[in-house]
Amino acid sequence: MMNSSFQKVLDELMPQQHFDCASVAVIDLKNKKIEKAHWGANDTTLYDLASLTKPLTLASCFHQNPELYHNEKLLLLLNHRAGLPVGGRLSRDGWKDQILAYPIQEQSLDTYSDYSALRLQLEIEAEFKKPLYEIVSLFWELGLVHWRDIKNPFLCPITGRRHGNSIQGEVHDDNAFVLKEKLSHAGLFSNIDALAQTILNLFEQTQCQDHLGKAFAELEDSRRFVLGWDRVENPEKSLAGEGASLQTFGHLGFTGTSFWCDLQKQKGWVLLANATQSFWFERSGLRELRRELGAQAWKS
């Protein structure tokens, strides 16, 4: 079902952006309904989810296998408090040895880290003796795919340039591109329907609401991450949009993607975009778009 209020926001704000594709959906968790809107895209458009890959792999692994996280080190990695470097260039030959060599040491502050996400992937795979994507993809919809499995790259909007060529149907993240493996920090693509339905599946097929409700009740104010999800710390300034409660969790992706869900309102919303199409460093238009769509989602 198309959402006219979302369409109005897209029609007003997208002409001012330096990118040309966006899809948005609001998810009614209670009634299991999805409403959506597009700009320069359609239901088949495949977007690079960027760091939305992290909650779709690592956070969902927790919700499917919470007993695994009795190991405190895994929780530190999940919540970006393990002291690993933020990130850097990785080599295809030695990246696993490099990531495994870092000590896990609890930090007083959360430090968002791609390396932490990759280390947690390696720890999970060692525990289960099989690839991470096999463990966590049971609730994924068919339209949610790894970039190496995309059959038609022209379904994907351009997300930038690499070595003088347009990035289309390839992951934007350089490490994910070089390593060419199924990784926890980046690499998933999706159309709007598949991602919205996957989020519904997560709520229906796991106990994520119970897990997050308990985690929010026990959360220290100084913590930014909760069970691998980002959270709303200041509803008036959050990119989740005005109207979100303090029980709102989600994640952002570098390519312009967003997902937020409010446990109190039993509602979520998703933005997929190619915000890195022309350049990445000017984000003011994207920030306005995220906030306006979020505010509309919480009102609708």
Q: SS3 string of 207-245?
A: CHHHHHHHHHHHCCCCCCEECCEEECCCCCCCCCCCCCC
Amino acid 281: pLDDT:
84
pLDDT value of position 69: 86
Which pTM value belongs to this model? 0.96
CA angle, corner 141, sides to 36 and 251, nearest 5?
A: 65
Integer Cα distance of 271 and 240 in angstroms: 10
Superfamily of structural domain 4-66+130-299: DD-peptidase/beta-lactamase superfamily (3.40.710.10)
- Distance of alpha carbon 105 from alpha carbon 81, whole angstroms: 8
% of the chain at pLDDT higher than 90: 91
Q: Rg of the Cα trace of the chain?
A: 18
The predicted structure's pLDDT at residue 191? 98
Strand 267-273: give its sheet, edge to edge.
33-39, 22-28, 267-273, 258-262, 248-252, 229-231, 225-226
Which two three-digit tokens encode residue 43? 């239901």
Q: What is the pLDDT of residue 219?
A: 87
Weakly modelled stretches of the chain, pLDDT under 50: none
Q: Of the candidates 54, 276, 295, which has an alpha carbon nearest to the alpha carbon of residue 162?
A: 276
| Residue 135 identity (one-letter amino acid) | I
Q: Are strands 161-162 and 225-226 parallel, antiparallel or unpaired?
A: unpaired
In the prediction, which pLDDT does 85 show?
97
pLDDT given at position 90:
97
- List, for residues 248-287, the tens digit of each pLDDT value: 999 999 999 999 999 999 999 999 999 999 988 889 999 9
Q: Whole-angstrom Cα distance, residue 267 to residue 33?
A: 10
